Amino acid sequence: MANVTLVARFLLVGFSNVQELQILYGVLFLVIYLAALMSNLVIITVITLDLHLKTPMYFFLKNLSLLDIFLVSVPVPKFIVNSLIHNSSISILGCACQLLLMTSFSAGEIFVLAAMSYDRYVAICCPLHYVVIMNDGACVLMASVSWAIGGLFGAVYTDGTFSMPFCGSSVIPQFFCDVPSLLRISCSQTLMVIYTSIGIGICLGMSCFICIVVSYIYIFSTVLKIPTTKGQSKAFSTCLPHLIVFTVFIITACFVYLKPPSDIPSVIDRLVSVIYTVTPPILNPVIYSLRNNDMKQALIRLVRKTYGQGVHLI
């Protein structure tokens, strides 16, 4: 049996080996991270404090914002620190934690997006039964199941990946620990465990995708029957952004996690990884808040209330 050197730590290459460019990328990601963090925190705060937003739609939106914060907070701060101190090392435990959390929050986000599509389906296609179907218990159950299945999938996926020893090169040509890079440096010749995990992921993703497609077929067929253009416009304005968010997220997630490992990762791989990890937390607040009159009015009420209390205290 040939001697192999087992890997104890990994090196996250990121985007450049030049120190000046590393600092530039670190500062750029810091700005993006703070923007994503603050915008999602604003959404969570507004939905929590404003009584007019105590509806299933905004309940799921708050869960989506929470998942976005957690998802972007797993790889980006580590990359920022590594870029600024010029240390790209990460332990096996740290890498496993990254993979566990990112897959868990990603899977949870897909299920929350599926729950949001079901909520829009009931609201538009079954408006008279909306209050009964989308009651508080049902909403909490759907959100809890989304988080639980996400965590379970993340645990299975991570266990399958790290049940194999790693040898040879310790370089991961990404700014976070991704499965294709880990599979490329695995010593194992049989990858049945990880392929089983991938199969589970495909089944879960396709189930959510089918549910969302079926929901939107019914939604659009109902919307087109609305006699007024204003009614159609309002329905499309609440549904199309959700469909855009889901499409971008699911396509990039599948590309990152379900693509076969390649010996030479391309620039497209890194670009899609950035889109997958950074774009949804920034895109979601823009789509769901800036184009949503209820959220705008709630934010204005919160600012006025806070400003009024400040003046009163003075």
**Dihedral (CA of 153, 198, 106, 101) sign:** positive
The type of residue at 67 is L
Q: Is the pTM of this model over 0.95?
A: no
Inform me whether the pLDDT recorded for 50 exceeds 50: yes
- pLDDT of 93: 87
Cβ atoms of 62 and 139 closer than 8 Å = no
- pLDDT of 314: 47
- Beta bridge partners, 166, equal 186
Confidence grade of residue 23 (pLDDT, cut at 50, 70, 90) = confident
The type of residue at 228 is T
What mean pLDDT, rounded, does the chain reach? 80
The per-residue pLDDT for range 137-169, each reduced to its tens digit, is 999 999 999 999 999 888 888 887 887 777 767
Confidence grade of residue 134 (pLDDT, cut at 50, 70, 90) = very high
Inform me whether the pLDDT recorded for 127 exceeds 80: yes
- pLDDT of 26: 85
Distances (CA, A) of 114 to 85, 108, 246: 40, 10, 9
Most confident of 10-19, 208-217, 225-234: 208-217
Cβ atoms of 143 and 240 closer than 8 Å = no
Inform me whether the pLDDT recorded for 5 exceeds 70: no
Strand ranges across the sheet with 89-91: 89-91, 9-12, 171-172
Confidence grade of residue 313 (pLDDT, cut at 50, 70, 90) = very low
